[in-house]
Amino acid sequence: MRHPAPPPTPPPAPVPARAGSAAVPADGGVPTAAIRARRRDLRWGRGEPGRGEPGRGERGRGGSGSDRRGRARWLRWVAWGVAAGVPLVFLGVFFAYPVLSLVGRGFVTDGALDLSGFGDVFGRDRTWRVVGLTLAQASLGTVLAVVLGVPGAYLLYRTTFRGQGLLRAFVIVPFVLPTVVVGVAFRSVLAPHGPLGFLGWDGTFAGVVAALVFFNYAVVVRTVGGFWAHLDPRTEQAARALGAPPWRAFLAVTLPALTPAIASAAAVVFLFCATAFGVVLVLGGVQYGTVETEIWVQTTQMLDLRAAAVLSVVQVVVVTGVLWAAGSARARRERALALGAPDRVRAVPLALRGPGARWSDRLAAAVTGVVVVVLLGLPLGTVLVRSLRAPDGGWGLANYANLATTGGRNALDVTVWQAAVTSLRTAADATMLAVVVGGLVALVVSRRPRSRAARRSVRVLDALFMLPLGVSAVTVGFGFLISMHDPFGLDLDLRGSTLLIPIAQAVVAVPLVVRTVLPVLRAIDTRLHEAAAVLGAGPARVLAHVDWPVAARSLGLAVGLAFAVSLGEFGATSFLARPDRPTLPVVIFRLIGRPGAENLGMAFAACVLLGAVTALVMAVAERLRSGAAGEF
Amino acid sequence: MTRHIPRRARRAVPTTTALVTAAMLALAGCTAAEDAADDDAPAPGGTATAGTASGTVVLVTHDSFALPDELVAQFEADTGLTLEQRAPGDGGALVNQLILTKDAPLGDVVYGIDNSFATRAIDEGVLEPYTPDGAVAEYAIDDEGYLTAVDMGDVCINVDHEWFAEAGIPEPTSLADLTDPAYKDLLVVTNPATSSPGLAFLAATVGAFGEDGWVDYWAALRENGVKVAAGWSDAYYVDFSGPSSEGDRPLVLSYASSPPYEVPEGATEAPTGALLDTCFRQVEYAGVIAGAANPEGARAVVDWLLSPEVQAAIPENMYMYPVTDVALPESWTQFAPLAPSPVEVDPAELSENRDAWIETWTDTVIG
């Protein structure tokens, strides 16, 4: 159910060229970006005053009296309070409160706190096995996704070739497809009679890991690629000029520079892998159960809330640990970014043959070719091919024509097109919410306040908003049902409200919006803020004229991502669905749960429709961003 | 990314972004507004006065629920009620959610509790007795009338006739046959911990071989190469060799109602069939939820579910058999007979032991 049909992750950010150029004079034409970066690093490291504390601008504005300054300061705190408060309230009401309500029930027996569940659950061998398997699966899935994804990022974002745009849109598709259909497609490939049956991976650990990589490959490619596209190549060129062989220059210069993006991508992938549900179940069965599938079984089938609560705590602890580790890796590196101005960062044509052929290009093309054709291509091809097999055994578009019907002998209440419209509308609502909330979070988290405590709270805020990716959809979904009848004692039953579905989807989309917008905002040279303030701009004007123009350009991608996540979301949605108004993934789930070639064919056709809509949305979002990057 | 873009195009970008954002706003705005309008209908039972059925009645059901719009519209026109549906998960999740929300019920009436969860629901006190006219006593689960049987289905092993004809092996007929080495590696079933037909089949084996025998039976099945899939969809569509499937196993756990859907148009013989001696009967019930805001409306819904119109619509919409005596679709009478004597297990025993059986099963079969 939580079948992460979630999306691709956030490509980090370009440094605005304009911002860059404004800053250049201050550096007095220092030769290499690396040195410039190091200097910045040192300055930041000391926490020297002058880094962009929110709105410190008015200091330079020369206020005409202390009361005015006092008011300005007060206003500033109110404004930042609201900016941080709105998302916190949203997360609190629609995530923390439901989750804690459910987990709380597991720890309260007859009105008294009862923690005996921990002893019981940890006394079972199965628990340890499940925790071990979760970690093993998620770690292996993450490592493989990174190892395979980095060459893909290079190929798709650092070189140019014909058909690149198509390929970029293609790799994103697996991310949003419903696991139940992909599970069937994936198993068709791996089953003994399938094209990869000789591997013997059906129902094995290897099969599960392969599927996890399938779903999350795009996260790495996009996150790392988006960042790499703007990395100043001159440092690596310098290393080469000094005699380092290409591999050494890559390992010593480029790879370390990519660390923040890789850490960011790895964290997100790990969260998705650790909470994968449908794919683990379909491909691995209970023998490869994870904490997530165990929570699902205990909650929905056994109603053992005590065990489920303990497992939820385990899940949160693991997830928090991973976020903390990734956050540290990011923080150590993020400030040393050497992002180049666009005239220096130019993707080069792919060179596979001829005198200019590069080994790096060949390697990247070979790895990516295998991934795209085998790992992504076989299952997706299976979906496409089977969508074209008409119920009568022939080939054609019969299944697509059937999308206007309610399924083989009425398997559905609505036609697939109606469901698609519901999906689009729900996703629009969810996107709105996610972009507003996520945008505010990114804005607040992008500040680098002077005081250590404030810096720490900013980091905690950053991690908090990643949590929804790491907590079981079952816990959130069941939590909604037991807490939303009178949220905080208000006489308001939200459980049947159609608004709850977009809200649940937005909770999942917010972290991705944050990860998309945040790096862009962080990359703005704070001296720009200072310069604007010195010139007399108030904090609001600084935001409007410095941050907004830059952030607006990443908005296209953020909107696209949030939209894609919402379209594919099936975890929490499945607990809140209204049968008379189902979304596309819900309809697909129903179709594939019915016998007959007609229903199966429609399920595959609907799946292709969902994939195509997603690819289209992402392609449009990408265009907006490309344009933006071009302007920098 | 760094593709060269003409200056004019570059300027257009923020504008386009703004336009897209504005369009999203508009779309979202009207969506929310429309939904709000939809929800303007009186809150669940809020305006219902005792003794009359009016206002909104909330039906809580499982994720397989489906009835034609026209039937719902007719019901609303006849009763003056507005029917709101919620489907928070599969059959098991449904019952567990009702239990969790006992103090603030999810709705007024529930449909879709099956015989493996029925006793748990009754014991937990989430239901209120109501026996409609025309209730079918044969499937009654308790004496007080907490639950009313609405439809039923047989979970049976399905067989791919063509495969056996080609292989020249006689088809198995009984549960015991499935452990015969002649049928090694031919069967795929689903996991009782994650799939409701899987649980039904586990119950069938307990019913057939008794508390003392079923574990050995499963050990023998395992020896004989039974494959366990997580859910019905991948067992049926990936492992089964039937016409709409791609697999290599000619025996699959499915329903007695599945074969008609494999029959090509105009054919007189079904390519697959159900082994009627391997069936477990699932019965699905409806009931009034305790503490319902609109109990009158809830009763009206239970009555409606037993009406000839809904009963007649059940086979084609929900793939189950009606409990009352209404005409079945022609393809069903032809290709989907019910088992004459399905394996029986006392529902109370089933509810009570289900979790333990699943655990033992997991240890035996999955290891």
The predicted-structure confidence for A575-601, as pLDDT tens digits, reads as follows 887 777 888 888 888 888 888 888 888
Kindly state whether residues B141 and B130 are assigned to the same domain: yes
How many structural domains compose chain B? 2
Question: Mean pLDDT for chain A?
Answer: 79
Chain A environment of B362 (Cβ under 8 Å)? 286
Say what the pLDDT of residue A345 is.
60
Q: Please determine, for residue A151, whether its predicted confidence score (pLDDT) is greater than 70.
A: yes
B237 within 8 A of B244, measured Cβ to Cβ: yes
Q: Please determine, for residue B10, whether its predicted confidence score (pLDDT) is greater than 50.
A: no
Q: Which CATH superfamily is domain A1-7+403-454+498-632 in?
A: MetI-like (1.10.3720.10)
Kindly state whether residues B175 and B142 are assigned to the same domain: no
Say what the pLDDT of residue A34 is.
39
Q: Please determine, for residue A270, whether its predicted confidence score (pLDDT) is greater than 70.
A: yes
Kindly state whether residues B356 and B325 are assigned to the same domain: no
Say what the pLDDT of residue A302 is.
82
Kindly state whether residues B239 and B255 are assigned to the same domain: yes
Least confident of A245-259, A277-291, B88-102: A277-291
CB within 8 Å: B261 and A594: yes
* Shortest CA distance from A492: residue in chain B: B43
Buried b (16+ CB within 10 A) or exposed e, B140-155: bbeeebbbbbbbbbbb
Say what the pLDDT of residue B155 is.
95
ipTM: 0.79
Distance CA B175, CA B156 (A): 10
Chain A environment of B258 (Cβ under 8 Å)? 595
List the CATH number of the domain containing B110.
Answer: 3.40.190.10
Q: Is B336 among the domain residues?
A: no
Chain B environment of A305 (Cβ under 8 Å)? 100
| Across B85-97, average pLDDT | 85
The token pair at A547 is 């941050």
Say what the pLDDT of residue A332 is.
67
Say what the pLDDT of residue A6 is.
41
Phi and psi of B127, rounded to 5°? -120, 160
Say what the pLDDT of residue A30 is.
34
Q: Which amino acid is at B303?
A: D
Measured from the Cβ of residue A348, the count of other Cβ atoms closer than 10 Å reads: 12
* Shortest CA distance from A570: residue in chain B: B89
Interface of A with B in 399-438 (CB under 8 A): 408-413, 424-426, 428-429, 431-432, 435
The predicted-structure confidence for B255-265, as pLDDT tens digits, reads as follows 999 999 888 88
Phi and psi of B288, rounded to 5°? -80, 130
Least confident of A359-368, A497-506, B24-33, B352-361: B24-33
Q: Please determine, for residue A57, whether its predicted confidence score (pLDDT) is greater than 80.
A: no
Nearest-Cα distance to chain A for B116, in Å, is 11
Least confident of A81-85, A264-268, A489-493, A539-543: A489-493
Kindly state whether residues B80 and B135 are assigned to the same domain: yes
Distance CA B314, CA B318 (A): 5
B313 within 8 A of B326, measured Cβ to Cβ: no
| Across B60-71, average pLDDT | 87
Say what the pLDDT of residue A90 is.
93
Q: What share of chain B is helix, strand, coil (3-state, %, to 5)?
A: 45, 20, 35
| Across B63-75, average pLDDT | 88
| Across A184-203, average pLDDT | 85
Kindly state whether residues B225 and B135 are assigned to the same domain: no
Nearest-Cα distance to chain A for B113, in Å, is 13
pLDDT band (50, 70, 90) for residue A48: very low
Q: Please determine, for residue A133, whether its predicted confidence score (pLDDT) is greater than 70.
A: yes
Q: Please determine, for residue A35, whether its predicted confidence score (pLDDT) is greater than 60.
A: no
Nearest-Cα distance to chain B for A420, in Å, is 14
Closest CA to A407 of A394, A389, A419, A396: A419
Domain span holding position B204: 153-280+351-366
Kindly state whether residues B207 and B259 are assigned to the same domain: yes
pLDDT band (50, 70, 90) for residue B342: very high
Distance CA B345, CA B364 (A): 21
Nearest-Cα distance to chain B for A104, in Å, is 12
pLDDT band (50, 70, 90) for residue A388: very high
Say what the pLDDT of residue B291 is.
93
Kindly state whether residues B236 and B355 are assigned to the same domain: yes
Provide the residue count of chain A.
632
Nearest CB to B13: which of A293, A586, A628? A628
| Across A606-621, average pLDDT | 85
pLDDT band (50, 70, 90) for residue A625: low
Chain B environment of A424 (Cβ under 8 Å)? 27
Say what the pLDDT of residue A483 is.
87
Element (H, E) at A198: none
Say what the pLDDT of residue A548 is.
80
The predicted-structure confidence for A82-105, as pLDDT tens digits, reads as follows 888 999 999 999 999 999 999 988
Chain A environment of B69 (Cβ under 8 Å)? 413, 580
Q: Is B342 among the domain residues?
A: no
Q: Is B248 among the domain residues?
A: yes
Nearest-Cα distance to chain A for B213, in Å, is 24
Say what the pLDDT of residue B30 is.
45
Neighbouring-strand partners of residue A108 = A113
Kindly state whether residues B166 and B256 are assigned to the same domain: yes
SS3 B209: helix
Q: Please determine, for residue B110, whether its predicted confidence score (pLDDT) is greater than 80.
A: yes
Distance CA A390, CA A372 (A): 27
| Across B112-124, average pLDDT | 90
Identify the residue among B185, B226, B232, B233 best suited for mutation to test binding to A, counting A beta carbons within 10 A and taking the highest. B233
Kindly state whether residues B60 and B182 are assigned to the same domain: no
On the question of a common fold for A1-7+403-454+498-632 and A121-396, the answer reads yes
CB within 8 Å: A184 and B244: no
Torsion sign, CA atoms B34, B38, B41, B44: negative
| Across B113-131, average pLDDT | 91
CB within 8 Å: B233 and A592: yes
Distance CA A310, CA A107 (A): 8
The predicted-structure confidence for B284-339, as pLDDT tens digits, reads as follows 999 999 999 999 999 999 999 999 999 999 998 888 999 999 999 888 889 999 99
Q: Please determine, for residue A337, whether its predicted confidence score (pLDDT) is greater than 70.
A: no
Q: Which residue has the higher pLDDT, A56 or B139?
A: B139
Q: Please determine, for residue A198, whether its predicted confidence score (pLDDT) is greater than 70.
A: yes
B279 within 8 A of B256, measured Cβ to Cβ: yes
| Across A601-620, average pLDDT | 87
| Across A365-375, average pLDDT | 93
Say what the pLDDT of residue B221 is.
96
Q: Which residue has the higher pLDDT, A594 or B273?
A: B273
Least confident of A27-31, A360-364, A509-513, B48-52: A27-31
Question: Mean pLDDT for chain B?
Answer: 84
The predicted-structure confidence for A219-247, as pLDDT tens digits, reads as follows 899 888 877 887 778 888 888 899 888 88
Chain A environment of B231 (Cβ under 8 Å)? 180, 281-282
Kindly state whether residues B245 and B357 are assigned to the same domain: yes
Say what the pLDDT of residue B7 is.
39
* Shortest CA distance from B121: residue in chain A: A303
Q: Which CATH number fits domain A121-396: 1.10.3720.10, 2.60.40.10, 3.30.70.360, 3.40.50.1580?
A: 1.10.3720.10
What percent of chain B has a predicted confidence (pLDDT) above 90? 54
What percent of chain A has a predicted confidence (pLDDT) above 70? 84
Chain A environment of B351 (Cβ under 8 Å)? none
- Per-residue 3-state assignment (H helix, E strand, C coil) for A509-546: HHHHHHHHHHHHHHCCCHHHHHHHHHCCCCHHHHHHHH
Distance CA A142, CA A262 (A): 11
Neighbouring-strand partners of residue B44 = B56
Cα A75-A78-A82 angle, rounded to 5 deg: 140
Say what the pLDDT of residue B163 is.
95
Domain definitions of chain A by residue range: 1-7+403-454+498-632, 121-396
Say what the pLDDT of residue A360 is.
85
Say what the pLDDT of residue B335 is.
92
Say what the pLDDT of residue A64 is.
54
Instruction: Give me the total of CB pairs closer than 8 Å, taking one residue from chain A and one from chain B.
Output: 250
SS3 B310: helix
The predicted-structure confidence for A413-438, as pLDDT tens digits, reads as follows 788 899 999 999 999 999 999 999 99
| Across A149-155, average pLDDT | 94
Say what the pLDDT of residue B171 is.
96
Nearest-Cα distance to chain A for B41, in Å, is 12
Say what the pLDDT of residue A555 is.
77
CB within 8 Å: A630 and B5: yes
Beta strand B81-86 with B272-274 is: unpaired
Chain A environment of B91 (Cβ under 8 Å)? none
Distance CA B290, CA B267 (A): 49
Q: Please determine, for residue B21, whether its predicted confidence score (pLDDT) is greater than 60.
A: no
The predicted-structure confidence for B164-216, as pLDDT tens digits, reads as follows 999 999 999 999 999 999 999 999 999 998 888 999 999 999 999 999 999 99
pLDDT band (50, 70, 90) for residue A28: very low
Chain A environment of B248 (Cβ under 8 Å)? 191-193
Least confident of A18-22, A52-56, A481-485: A18-22
Least confident of A144-148, A197-201, A574-578: A574-578
Kindly state whether residues B105 and B66 are assigned to the same domain: yes
